[in-house]
Chains A and B, each alone.
Chain A
Amino acid sequence: MSKRAGLIVAMLVVASLVLGACTTPEPQVIEKEVEKVVKETVVVEKEVEKVVEKVVEVEKAEDTTPKGTVVVGVWQEPKGLIWNIFYDAHANDLGASMYYTPVTTDENDELVAQMLEEVPTVDNGGVSEDGKTITLKFKPGFAWHDGVPVTAEDYKFTWEFIMDPATVSQTTAGWNMIESVEVIDELTAVVTLSESYVPFVASTLVFPILPKHALEGVADPGNSEFARAPLGNGPFVFQEWIPGDRIVVKANPDAPIPPKVEEIIFKFVPDMNTLLALLRTGDVDVAYDLRETQIADIVKMQNVEVIALPGLSIERYYFNLRDPQDLTQPHPIFNDINVRKALMMGMDRWSAVSGILQGYGEVAITELDNHPWQNTDLEPVPYDPEAAAALLDEAGWVMGEDGIRVKDGVRLSFRHSTTAGNQVRENLQLLFQQNLKDIGVEMIIDNYQSATFFGGCATDGIFGTSNFDVMGFTNSPASIDLAQEWSDFFLTSSIKDCETNPAGSNAWGYSNPTLDEQMACALNELDPEARVECIKAAQETIYNDYFTLYVYDRLDVFAVSDRVTGVNPTVFGGHSYSYAEWQVVE
């Protein structure tokens, strides 16, 4: 069309709009701007002239210029900003501001498409019947912050980059199932897996893809400029990283889903109390990953709102089923399922939650509490000291003179280990120690530094050498979907042994062939309904074997200042899925 013709058409469009508004204030005509102009139209209903003016204005002017600065208080600085190399929750949360992802979660914790046209499923043909082929159709309009458009080549590059040993990715889970990626055109890629892997979509497509033109051929990417100043494609653009102090990102003016805030500053504050002080003075607007014990303090602040969601992280105690002195032998005390059951019934988790946690938490039941696939038929192991004492009596543990039960010359005494320096864990240990003493069981608190606790075989780590009686820490089933690494804690094939299987995660020597089958089904079953059945059955099997005590569900604690709206934290998305929606209201 020639320029002149275009101009005439434009004028006609404007004219018709004006006329249309003049006659009747018909909302249909200004359909596009409804969300933004709604306030004005309702208020100005009677004054038609004003509506006319507004319509024209909104077409051109950006009422939605990003305004304001939000400060997020982070207590752990990321190690680097390439997500697969520096894989930890805080880095990922921060990085999410600068990257869109193929799929993401929304405010209802549902999986929705962001860079893709739709979430690939078997129903829409995105995933093949046999589960081995996934077709990714990208939406147009996404570009890297240097202007280069995002294409399917970038997706293929991301896979190669992650799998390249020279990259030193921390995690390749899920991506290592890819056999090949074929780029059909600019916006379409076909992924072929080596075998069917049902969690593929939910576990890999929620992560960012990386720019081929910026990272290809870069030696030692972890030590590159990109790792300190990344090139993203998301709602915010990287500005600067002052080590030890802050990372600053600014709104991306060309973002397809434009942000409402002009600048986000991620400020690093390692001391929790200082962080709370900054929240109180208003220097920090948003804080996350706070401890349950701080909720009482934050509730007192007038300008800050506390949001505590029951999350997926569950504090649990694992019973070692093998004798730590000789791993070929069963545990002298815990090999009897009734003893384990009695011990579990002897610990008052309800008082722990209401008293020590001040009500901020929930007594846990299964591996998947608060997850859509939780087996809700199961009830928490009750607190019943009398029944527990009875079970122990039946099992032959007789009360000794010093108040501790004895059987065949063995005292019912065991070590309980967790990470040293963790306030809440220690407090719980103290409470349970007292509970158990009341029924004749001696629990010795034996904590270690994290680096020793999780240490491997080479350094005589507690976890690595299975050198514990009961081991407690927090774990979660990764995210929306279950993944391989989660089942590693339960499978017979993952039983840890420094000689034969040093990397296995099943340090407690648990083995149940039925569970192995159910886990295999949970990860590979293609029929979604059958899959969920397996997952629920697996939870029940674990429950009936009484080898893990699920203590309490941890809350995800967020603090948001009253001057910021739109954060709406969720279980799967945390606070970082909604960066584009954050708004400063003052």
Chain B
Amino acid sequence: MFRYIVKRLLISIPVLLGVSLVAFFLVQASGDPMAIYVSNPNISSEDLIRLEKTYGFDKPKAVQYFYWLRNTLKGDWGQSFLTHQDVFTMIGERLGNTLILMFTSLLVTLTISLLLGIYTATHQYSFSDYFVTGFSFFGYAMPTFWFGLMLIIIFAVKAREAGLPYLPAAGMYPIRGDRNFGQLLLHLVLPVTVLSLSSVAKYTRYLRSSMLEVISQDYVRTARAKGLSERVVLWRHAFKNAIIPLVTLVMLDIPFLFSGALITEQVFAWPGMGRMYWEHANWVDYPVLMGIILLVSSLVVVCNLIADISYALIDPRIRVDG
């Protein structure tokens, strides 16, 4: 096992290199970083030439990649072409906000999925099964930006106008007023609703199947035969075993918690990394984009490794070698 881990970690180096290469050229292919200056009618031709030279855009792409790689390996993630800030600083400024949003959503998703998964597994084919399942699909089937906007209109605008208790429409903290934990929680309600409801379907389905499989196992029948109450059977035996594979699923999702939910952050004006990503992607600000991609890909490698190991531990039929 130890050798396996070391081998995987060693292999991850060329993988990350591969990611950076593919990502760099994909990003470059998506447009011209000079375009933002060209589209600005107040910048003259001479200024355009000067800017191009300063940022090194006139050099061949391979050369630009080489400079980027060399600096990154030295620990210098570069500066944004748009804001001139260090990429590291920029990511640091936004990372916390994204993590707050994403981890809260994950928590809510898991809680809801657990309840729904168990319920639907034990009430298979009943009407409430369909209803609850349908509910789990609800968030998934709604386009995110539309769902978010509807929630804002109903709970932030209309509720307020009707004199009912209302929720804040956007942002992380109130515009006027104190920035405290209570306000943060209030501001989290709507974006977390959108995010968690859209993932609930996936986890619920997984848990339902896991539960169904476990319930039909022999040891559960034994427990029932022994006369244990249904509740004990469910929770102590079935549930615990059904949950273990869930870990791998969560592991695989974690890297994407860091890139944030782009559209949700846009709609709710949440100052996170997803939004920053999109704003800089539009104008091909590749140091920032490469920094975020590198962060996410390192996490993908690590989390995949953990997921594969735990998968092997669960099902010894799967040999992890090579």
Contacts and interface: CB of A to CB of B under 8 A. Distances in A.
Asked if the two chains touch in their complex, CB atoms less than 8 Å apart, one says yes
Interface of A: 69, 71, 77, 79-80, 85-88, 165, 168-173, 176, 220, 222-223, 227-228, 242-246, 265, 267-271, 273-274, 277-278, 280-281, 283-284, 449-456, 458-459, 461, 463-464, 473, 475-476, 478, 483-486, 488, 494, 502-505
B14 interface: no
B176 A265 contact: yes
Contacts of A503: 45-46, 48-49
Contacts of A486: 41
Given A273-B152, A450-B283, A456-B48, 16 more contacts: A69-B176, A77-B279, A269-B170, A273-B149, A274-B267, A280-B157, A281-B156, A283-B175, A451-B36, A453-B39, A456-B52, A461-B32, A461-B35, A473-B39, A478-B42, A494-B45
B183 interface: no
Contacts of A461: 31-32, 35, 38
B84 A223 contact: yes
Interface string B21-62: 000000010111111111111111111111110100110000
A486 B37 CA distance: 14
Contacts of B149: 273-274, 277
B171 interface: yes
9 contacts: A79-B82, A171-B47, A220-B84, A242-B271, A243-B90, A283-B169, A283-B175, A451-B284, A454-B34
Nearest to B173: A245
B141 interface: no
A85 B43 CA distance: 12
Given A69-B176, A246-B175, A451-B283, A277 B153 contact: yes
B270 to A, nearest CB: 8
Given A274-B169, A451-B282, A456-B32, A485 B156 contact: no
Contacts of B93: 243-244
Given A265-B176, A267-B171, A281-B169, A455 B35 contact: yes
Contacts of A451: 30-33, 35-36, 282-284
A246 B179 CA distance: 13
A449 B270 CA distance: 25
Contact of B271 (A244, A458, A459): A244
Interface of B: 28, 30-52, 54, 57-58, 79-80, 82-86, 90, 93-94, 97, 145, 149, 152-153, 156-157, 160, 168-173, 175-176, 266-272, 275-276, 279, 282-284
B114 to A, nearest CB: 32
Q: Which 7 A-B pairs have the closest CB atoms?
A: A451-B31, A244-B271, A222-B84, A455-B32, A503-B45, A459-B32, A454-B35
A475 to B, nearest CB: 5
A449 B30 contact: yes
- The main secondary structure of chain A at its interface with chain B is loop
B175 A284 contact: yes
A461 B275 CA distance: 26
A147 to B, nearest CB: 28
B160 A459 contact: no
Contacts of A473: 39
A244 B272 CA distance: 7
A85 B50 CA distance: 13
A79 B170 CA distance: 21
Contacts of A464: 32, 38
Nearest to B54: A168
Contact of B83 (A86, A269, A271, A274): A86
B287 to A, nearest CB: 12
Nearest to B50: A165
B269 A170 contact: no
B41 A453 contact: no
B43 A87 contact: yes
A95 B266 CA distance: 24
A270 B266 contact: yes
B175 A456 contact: no
A475 B82 CA distance: 22
B83 A173 contact: no
A494 B46 CA distance: 11
A172 B47 contact: yes
A312 to B, nearest CB: 10
A293 to B, nearest CB: 16
A277 B48 contact: no
A383 B269 CA distance: 43
A454 B170 CA distance: 33
